[in-house]
Amino acid sequence: MHYVINNIIDDDSICCTSKAADDGFFDQENLYNKRPSKPFRFEGPGAVGNPEWICVAPVNSGDSVITFAGIFNHNLALTAVNDELRLKGCNDPCEDPGACDWDNPDVEIDLAPRLIEGFRNLYRELNQDYPYWRLDVIDQNNEDGFAEIGELVLGQYSAFPAGVHVQGGQPDGPQYHAVQQETQFGQDWTSYLAESGKIGLEFMDINNPAVMNEMRLFVRAVMQNNGKFILIDDHQLKFCYYCVIKNLSDYTKRIIHNPTVGQLRSWTFDLKVLTEGVRLL
């Protein structure tokens, strides 16, 4: 089990994009605002030979290895021939002068096989340190008529401390949000709005002071990130969770303390998977 806290994409990172929707609501800042429900929208779905694209030049990104790429709350289907979702890395800049040849970049990673029908997020492990990155999108049969991305994340994933054991049987399930009203005549009026999820994590049997310190550092870093982080439950799965910690205190419990066993602690986190499917919130 791993996690990602920091997104290297920020105000100084996004160099440029292909034509965005020109209505004032879907700005490129939505790609990294930590609110997947408020997305960035392209003008269209892209076409063969003319993809929609986002180019990123993270500050000092070439100085560290990027191990995680994630796309959250997207509306992509990729059902047509020659549709694509590709992440490209290059040593040359996004645009002139000296721009990268994005048709022949230094590295090209196909993200399309990571797409799961009915899921709005995907991720892939990387091991690259290029200073410039571009995401190309072609989704010709997109039902909305445009490609949309709620959050684009490039960063590094970390492992929870060794010696921490996840308690089994934790709650893990979807939450569906809808308007549910009944008229005075007994008619039901409902409207589906969005979905999120709940995850309960309990880390058990922590009796090593160094491990407890690591857990405290993890919690502090997450809270300084507004309680939000990405949880990679299993690297064999194609999706992960963009979460927020809902319990802001009392998430540690001392289980026992005696000279033989030592001090044991459990850490319990009530997580909400950030809402997907809603626009302009």
On whether the CB atoms of residues 45 and 147 are closer than 8 A, the answer is: yes
What is the rounded CA–CA span in Å between residue 273 and residue 260?
40
On whether the CB atoms of residues 30 and 150 are closer than 8 A, the answer is: yes
Q: Cβ–Cβ contacts within 10 Å for residue 197, how many?
A: 19
Chain-wide mean pLDDT for the chain?
84
Domain annotation for the chain: domains and CATH numbers: 2-157 (2.60.120.260), 165-276 (no CATH)
On whether the CB atoms of residues 68 and 126 are closer than 8 A, the answer is: yes
> 205 or 217: which carries more pLDDT confidence?
217
> 67 or 250: which carries more pLDDT confidence?
67
Which of 70-74, 154-158, 230-234, 241-245 shows the lowest per-residue confidence on average (mean pLDDT)?
Answer: 230-234
> 59 or 108: which carries more pLDDT confidence?
108
Per-residue confidence (pLDDT) for residue 25, from 0 to 100: 63
- State mean pLDDT over 148-168: 83
What is the rounded CA–CA span in Å between residue 60 and residue 52?
25
What is the rounded CA–CA span in Å between residue 261 and residue 34?
42
Per-residue confidence (pLDDT) for residue 112, from 0 to 100: 96
What is the rounded CA–CA span in Å between residue 42 and residue 20?
4
Which of 25-34, 86-95, 129-138 shows the lowest per-residue confidence on average (mean pLDDT)?
Answer: 25-34
- State mean pLDDT over 149-165: 86
SS in 3 state form for 52-77? EEEEECCCCHHHCCEEEEEEECCCCC
Per-residue confidence (pLDDT) for residue 110, from 0 to 100: 96
Which of 71-75, 81-85, 121-125, 270-274 shows the lowest per-residue confidence on average (mean pLDDT)?
Answer: 270-274
Residue 61 scores a pLDDT above 60: no
Degrees to nearest 5, angle at CA 198 with 192 and 204 = 175
Confidence of residue 162 (pLDDT cuts 50, 70, 90): confident
Which of 78-87, 241-250, 251-260 shows the lowest per-residue confidence on average (mean pLDDT)?
Answer: 251-260
Per-residue confidence (pLDDT) for residue 69, from 0 to 100: 95
Per-residue confidence (pLDDT) for residue 65, from 0 to 100: 84
Confidence of residue 215 (pLDDT cuts 50, 70, 90): confident
> 22 or 7: which carries more pLDDT confidence?
7
Q: What is the pTM of this model?
A: 0.85
Q: What is the DSSP string of 229-257?
A: EEEE--TTSS--EEEEE---S--EEEEE-
The pLDDT tens digits of the residues spanning 18-56 come to: 876 666 667 888 899 999 988 999 989 999 999 999 999
Confidence of residue 70 (pLDDT cuts 50, 70, 90): very high
Residue 259 scores a pLDDT above 80: no
